[in-house]
């Protein structure tokens, strides 16, 4: 697997150190409990929706509790929906009265979130949707309605700058929902420059406009997400874990089956499935690995659903023991390991993250060229015997019972950065097919018969 080399600026190192963020989709749509896009998807009446939004008053919103839970669950940062496609603002915006501050709650939800998460030592991210389904001029655009469009654009720019002026240090900014506008309409390049002046350290995602027509490639992301291959500091594959070749990336994923905001009766993905997404993100993406932004949709009254908390805490307990394989890891895929699980690396260490435990005492790893110094079952802290014969590593004395319900991890400490021979590097369907021919020719012969001999 090859990825382009690039250097991560120091100010963004926290992102690769973190690996794991919490995405929070919360707004008045939670009252319907059928997803954050219910207004559009069910073609609801705008007036009725707005009335219900203005009356929404979530009494149990306690961001300090959310932040504590996020911290205990091993998340290192969060990203909170300040305004989704329905246009309702979760902060005290000077540019509209359609907000939590001016309607029923009379609270600045963004401020409370930012303060609480920062106090808990987490990095802070804000999600902001370009699209606002209430505004006809957004959809008419600059050509059909130049005056209306100019107003909308000013409104969007002002709100983003407001969010980056009034709430202290913002580390991460997640634009969304560009369709049908593009970067030229939105002047997103200029806005990004202004954002960097206000927040020099900020990381801004790639949903800034251009996609197929401009960049030539449709980056991974929701249809209409407006992902750009050339704009933005990090890629945002959505419902997907795929490498962005040119920059850092963060896969955003739901914990349920499909929707981002709270849904009554929705099915939940199991903890091992969620953890595997984190491991896969860390594993993929060359030396920098990738991040996972794992979503939760709090209930309409402001609580993290118990199904989420239970799964998140299970992963958090796993991270307490195995965190060194994830946080700040350097990406994996050193050698072939798909028959067992996933790998990550960190300096001279190779971490084998094992999906299933087959109870056999010996595990064989083929094609590792680096000399091994020490092997530890990280899950229990037990040092394991091993034997290295050339490029074959045999790890011995593994317990019969799985040492954890989630994934056991074996740490292989090497004398230098873990590396593999050509066979280990070039996976199935990759590389020079001559090596497959040589393997068969040398070990068995050339014919279709069982003994490989020509008749
Ligand atoms: C999408 C959806 C949206 C969700 C988001 C998360 O593009 O429109 O509802 O907030 O992606 O990445």
Residue 254, ligand 1, Cβ within 6 A: no
Sign of the C-alpha dihedral computed for residues 407, 413, 416 and 422 taken in this order: negative
pLDDT at residue 220 in the model: 44
Residue 166, ligand 1, Cβ within 6 A: no
What is the whole-number distance in angstroms between the Cα of residue 445 and the centre of ligand 1? Answer: 55
Residue 222, ligand 1, Cβ within 6 A: yes
Residue 252, ligand 1, Cβ within 6 A: yes
Q: Quick one: residue 344, left, alpha or beta (phi over 0 = left, psi -120 to 50 = alpha)?
A: beta
CATH superfamily, region 10-325: Glycosidases (3.20.20.80)
Closest protein CA for atom 10 of ligand 1: 260
HSE toward the beta carbon, residue 118, CA cutoff 13 A: 15
On whether the CB atoms of residues 342 and 335 are closer than 8 A, the answer is: no
Q: pLDDT tens digits for the chain (455 residues)?
A: 445 677 889 999 999 999 999 999 999 999 999 999 999 999 999 999 999 999 999 999 999 999 999 999 999 999 999 999 999 999 999 999 999 999 999 999 999 999 999 999 999 999 999 999 999 999 999 999 999 999 999 999 999 999 999 999 999 999 999 988 989 999 999 999 999 999 999 999 999 987 555 655 444 455 557 788 778 999 999 999 988 888 899 999 999 999 999 999 999 999 999 999 999 999 997 778 899 999 999 999 999 999 999 999 999 999 999 999 999 999 888 999 999 999 999 999 999 999 999 999 999 999 999 999 999 999 999 999 999 999 999 999 999 999 999 999 999 999 999 999 999 999 889 999 999 999 999 999 999 999 999 99
In whole angstroms, what is the distance from residue 258 CA to residue 445 CA? 51
Q: If you compute the radius of gyration of the chain from its CA atoms, what whole number of angstroms results?
A: 25
What is the whole-number distance in angstroms between the Cα of residue 222 and the centre of ligand 1? Answer: 7
Residue 177, ligand 1, Cβ within 6 A: yes
pLDDT at residue 219 in the model: 44
10-325 shares its CATH topology with 341-420: no
For the CA of 223, the closest atom of ligand 1 is 7
Listed by start position, the domains of the chain span 10-325, 341-420
Peptide bond into 167 cis (omega under 30): no
Tell the CATH topology of 341-420: Immunoglobulin-like (2.60.40)
């Amino acid at each position: 697997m090859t990825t382009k080399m690039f250097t991560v600026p120091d100010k963004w190192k926290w992102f690769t150190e973190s690996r794991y963020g919490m995405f929070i989709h919360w707004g008045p749509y939670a009252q319907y409990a059928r997803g954050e896009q219910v207004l559009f998807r069910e073609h609801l009446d705008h007036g009725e929706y707005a009335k219900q939004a203005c009356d929404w008053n979530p009494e149990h919103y306690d961001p300090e509790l959310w932040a504590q839970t996020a911290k205990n669950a091993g998340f290192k940062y969060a990203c909170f929906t300040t305004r989704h496609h329905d246009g309702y603002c979760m902060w005290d915006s000077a540019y509209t009265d359609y907000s939590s501050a001016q309607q029923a709650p009379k609270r600045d939800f963004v401020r409370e979130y930012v303060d609480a998460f920062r106090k808990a030592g987490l990095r802070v991210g804000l999600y902001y949707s370009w699209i606002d389904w209430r505004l006809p001029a957004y959809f008419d655009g600059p050509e059909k309605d130049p005056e209306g469009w100019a107003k909308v654009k000013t409104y969007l720019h002002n709100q983003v700058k407001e969010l980056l002026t009034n709430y202290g240090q913002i580390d991460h900014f997640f634009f969304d929902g560009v369709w049908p506008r593009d970067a030229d309409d939105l002047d997103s390049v200029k806005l990004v420059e202004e954002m960097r002046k206000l927040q020099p350290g900020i990381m801004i995602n790639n949903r800034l406009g251009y996609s197929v027509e401009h960049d030539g490639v449709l980056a991974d992301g929701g249809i209409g997400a407006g992902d750009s291959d050339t704009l933005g500091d990090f890629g945002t594959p959505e419902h997907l874990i795929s490498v962005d070749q040119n920059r850092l990336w963060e896969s955003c994923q739901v914990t349920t089956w499909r929707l981002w905001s709270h849904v009554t009766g929705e099915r939940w993905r199991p903890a091992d499935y969620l953890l595997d997404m984190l491991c896969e993100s860390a594993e993929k993406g060359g030396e920098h690995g990738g991040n996972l932004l794992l979503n939760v949709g709090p209930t309409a009254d402001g609580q993290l659903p118990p199904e989420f908390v239970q799964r998140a805490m299970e992963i958090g307990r796993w991270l307490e023991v195995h965190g060194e394989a994830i946080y700040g890891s350097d990406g994996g895929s050193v050698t072939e390991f798909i028959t067992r699980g996933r790998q990550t690396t960190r300096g001279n260490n190779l971490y084998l993250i094992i999906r299933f435990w087959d109870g056999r005492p010996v595990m064989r790893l083929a094609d590792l060229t680096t000399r091994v110094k020490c092997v530890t079952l990280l899950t229990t802290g037990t040092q394991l015997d091993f034997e290295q014969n050339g490029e074959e590593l045999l790890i011995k004395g593994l317990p019969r019972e799985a040492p954890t319900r989630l994934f056991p991890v074996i740490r292989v400490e090497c004398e230098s950065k873990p590396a593999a021979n050509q066979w280990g590097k070039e996976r199935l369907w990759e590389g020079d097919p001559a090596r497959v021919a040589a393997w068969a020719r040398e070990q068995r012969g050339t014919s279709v018969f069982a003994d490989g001999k020509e008749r």
